[in-house]
Chains A and B, each alone.
Chain A
Amino acid sequence: MASETQVSYLEYQGRHKGIWSWLLSTDHKRIGLLYLYAVIVFFFIAAFLGLLMRIELIAPGRTIMEPQTYNGLFTIHGIIMIFVIVIPGLATIFGNFFLPILIGARDVAFPRLNLFSWYLYILGALLGVASQFMKSGPPDTGWTFYVPYSVESSTSVIWALTAAFILGFSSILTGLNFIVTIHRMRAPGMKWMRMPLFPWALYATAWIQVLATPIIGITLMMVIAERVLNIGFFDPALGGDPVLFQHLFWIYSHPAVYIMILPAMGVVTEIFPTFSQKPVFGYGAIVLSSLAIAFVGYFVWGHHMFTAGMSYSARWFFSFLTFIVAIPSAIKVFNWISTMYGGSIDLKPPLLYAISFIFLFMIGGFTGLVLGSLATNVQTHDTAFVVAHFHYIIFGGMGFAFFAAIHYWFPKMFGRMYNNKVANIAWGFNFVGFNLLYFPLFIIGLQGMPRRAYDYLPQFHTGHFLSTIGAFILFAGLILMVYNLIVAARRGVKAPANPWHGVTLEWKIPSPPPHENFEEIPEITSKPYFFGKKEETK
């Protein structure tokens, strides 16, 4: 099917030459890579800041930095990780690259808007990093910007707020683009229930991006107004209400958790059928549970505020819905396991990461229920237990799904294979390091170690010490993994069109894909994940 007329998107020469052929490209695949490179750079900045924090916490008392520096580090670590890496990560990189291909389109609906979103993203990310180096000192409010402190702090909070606002706008535009793409650009014959599940996950995600992000936009603007104009919405001295800020903040920021995890679930849903050589189990259930998570996830924000002062009925209501939202997540876990059951499993790095995703996500999910029930929440609120929980979800869930995705689609994106052995070793470091880093935090959290604390009592020393060792192991694993991929991108063996014997559309075009994806737009006649005749799929 590949012919000489098809130039790979990596070699395609458009109107612009050299670096501009990337920076001005409206090709969804190139924009996907632009996001990838940016995310890797910012990820290592934020991960390094995290490592510095862990070094500080290796022993009680001052180790390498002042308390104020520590406050700046956990703030900017959070802002970069949440707003620059985890929220946009999977959707902008793999969504941009593979959404059009998976639905049989040549590009997204608005290619120029897509490029514009990337520039907004870079602007926001740079502002976020720059806020660290402003004259008034790095912001020290934590990524949650809770009032009244975010109004009173003399540090450069406004820069960080503006950064988050711009990143939110970029996220809205990406979501909008994907919704329209999925509605209007599916290949002929691709009915809704014939669409692969990663696009389905992106579709659910995009609606949250579009409908929830404006709320954080206006909230951040109100905090800026509060700082600059003294407008009083959140200031009790002027009649305002600080808890109101928490509501507005979490109305966005809890759905944002689902912006992070839904694409991750979509990615592993693509991986399990391919490496089990078996159709996905319960296609309809996965679609419906994605939409259910997106919908119910909108109404659970109050569980972040059980100790902040809410009526009893509001608290049990939010707690109840929190338990409800666990159901569709659990349905997906059953689907993934059942997909593997009886399949011919090929334990390659992508599947290894996908399976560890389930493991870590389950730990994160169950501890989430501990936090979601009213009585235990009071004990664990604002402790290291919370830190461990959300790192298991965000890093163990979204992060490991990201690693699964990059190992799954790398041959397609770059046209080269990576070294499996090194990838497996790096996985070992990552998995062991991750658990050693975060699991002790559950225990010391239950024992009363508060989060975001610079110093601690001697009884928490062992837990913190182990955790820091884990951080080093994890960091080493990350470097090894990225090194392996960089080497592969430069000198790897040329990848075939379909190295994993996948059956979705991206495996039916050459690696790397030609500039316009498909020479002829394919006609879709059946459901995805049909592994019947293997010869046809090579």
Chain B
Amino acid sequence: MAVHQIHTEHTDSETGKLGMWIFLFTELFLFGGLFLVYSIFRAKYSAEFHVAAGELNAFIGTLNTVFLLVSSMTVAMALAAMQKGDRRLTLFLLMVTIILAALFILNKYFEWSHKFEYGIYPGSPVLKNMPHGELLFFGLYYMMTGLHALHVLIGMVLLSITTVRVRARRINSTRYLMLENSALYWHLVDLIWIFLFPLLYLIT
């Protein structure tokens, strides 16, 4: 009876990947709204944006960029390793990716708490006394890096589930759609940061 065959044909990897790609488009548009707001306010208050960007620590930003770039590479290598059937190397590279992501979040935590110490957080009295452009810059800074950090956390969860599945041999050298999709998602997280970094840290 054909009843039991149902739903098996849908899981082929081309279909799954197409779904992921379209989802990534929606993510780009989600951030796109913020980039739009950024560009409008930057055009309006460009001088004040320059001043405010000087407050950000470009060293930490650069360090985080390096973390994410390297992690994007390791996750790509993990996929290549899986395709070659090297399970142990895959696991190792996935671990490295997750650790780099954790370092990114840790750095972000220090960066934010440092700002908080100076009283720079949304709605704070210090911020309210600043010129409008600087206030909006920090609003955008928190909103954009906050949303991005949320995506880093989601990516870490995805990569962790992937790791568990690789360990349980549910993902193997013939079936690795989930690894591929997690890697795609992780590249997106990296890509968005590549744009956030210069727009927020390097416009001084």
Does residue B195 face the partner (Cβ distance < 8 Å to A)?
A: no
**B1-46 interface with A by 8 A CB criterion:** 1-3, 6-7, 9-10, 14-15, 18-19, 22-23, 25-27, 29-34, 36-37, 40-41, 45
Q: Shortest Cβ distance from A527 into chain B, in angstroms? A: 26
Contact of B30 among A176, A217, A515 (CB under 8 A): A217
Q: Number of B residues contacting the other chain (C-beta, 8 Å)? A: 40
Which residue of chain B lies nearest to A26 when distances are taken between CB atoms in the complex?
B7
- Among listed B85-93, B96-104, B135-143, interface-contacting one: B135-143
Residues of B contacting A377 in the complex (Cβ-Cβ under 8 angstroms): none
Q: Are A232 and B26 in contact (CB under 8 A)?
A: no
Q: Shortest Cβ distance from B19 into chain A, in angstroms? A: 5
Which residue of chain A lies nearest to B1 when distances are taken between CB atoms in the complex?
A5
Contact of B29 among A177, A214, A229 (CB under 8 A): A214
Which residue of chain B lies nearest to A211 when distances are taken between CB atoms in the complex?
B29
Does residue A262 face the partner (Cβ distance < 8 Å to B)?
A: no
Q: Shortest Cβ distance from A202 into chain B, in angstroms? A: 15
Given contacts A215-B29, A232-B139, contact A516 B15 (CB under 8 A): no
Given contacts A106-B6, A211-B29, A215-B32, contact A230 B136 (CB under 8 A): no
Given contacts A215-B29, A218-B30, A231-B122, contact A176 B135 (CB under 8 A): no
Which residue of chain B lies nearest to A179 when distances are taken between CB atoms in the complex?
B22
Q: Are A180 and B18 in contact (CB under 8 A)?
A: yes
Interface centre among A26, A213, A232 (most CB of B within 10 A): A232
Contact of A110 among B19, B34, B36 (CB under 8 A): B19
Given contacts A109-B19, A110-B10, A239-B133, contact A222 B29 (CB under 8 A): no
Residues of B contacting A180 in the complex (Cβ-Cβ under 8 angstroms): 15, 18-19, 22
Contact of B139 among A183, A185, A221, A233 (CB under 8 A): A233
Q: Are B18 and A218 in contact (CB under 8 A)?
A: no
Q: Are A215 and B22 in contact (CB under 8 A)?
A: no
Given contacts A214-B27, A231-B122, contact A111 B32 (CB under 8 A): no
Report the Cα distance A217→B26, complex, angstroms.
10
Contact of B25 among A183, A211, A217, A516 (CB under 8 A): A211
A-B pairs with lowest CB-CB distance, top 7? A239-B132, A218-B33, A230-B123, A229-B122, A214-B29, A214-B30, A231-B139
For this complex, 8 residue pairs linking A to B, each with C-beta atoms less than 8 Å apart, are: A7-B3, A183-B18, A184-B15, A212-B29, A214-B27, A217-B33, A225-B122, A225-B143
